[in-house]
Amino acid sequence: MEQKDTQENPAKAAWVPAILSAVIALVVWSSSRRTGIHLGGGFEGEGEDLSVLWTELPFVVLAAGVLPVAVWLLTVRLLRRIVGRGSLVVIAAAAAVGVTLLYAVGLYVWADQLHPAYVRSLGSHLHL
């Protein structure tokens, strides 16, 4: 029943990559060096800033949830008349997974970099 319903309306399955993307973004963001320092992982709590929990985290997870859904729906809308319904779900899923991977890599690059001014303030003993 679920597969037939998805093939009739391919947009109904867009929530699956949204949830997976949000979980991936949460894992990438929370495991980064930058987030670790903000959450108290610096030397003796140096650099601790818990405001990232209500400033960065909601935007990271929200963007991760909205982006694959937007790509999924755009793919379905653009290719609805060109591609068969069975293939449309596969193509939309591939596009959503692709944008999720791009978002995760971009998030990793952004969140895993330390601000140069912060690195300079730590002194020359820190070699990154």
pLDDT tens digit at each of 128 positions of the chain: 445 555 566 667 778 888 889 999 888 888 887 777 777 765 565 666 777 778 888 888 888 889 999 999 899 889 888 887 778 888 988 999 999 999 988 888 887 776 555 555 555 454 44
Handedness of CA 27, 29, 35, 39 (dihedral sign): negative
pLDDT for 126? 47
pLDDT for 55? 80
Q: What angle do CA 87, 90, 91 make, to 5 degrees?
A: 85
- Rounded to two decimals, what is the model's pTM? 0.70
Q: What angle do CA 92, 25, 10 make, to 5 degrees?
A: 20
Instruction: Report yes or no: 11 and 70 within 8 Å, Cβ to Cβ.
Output: no
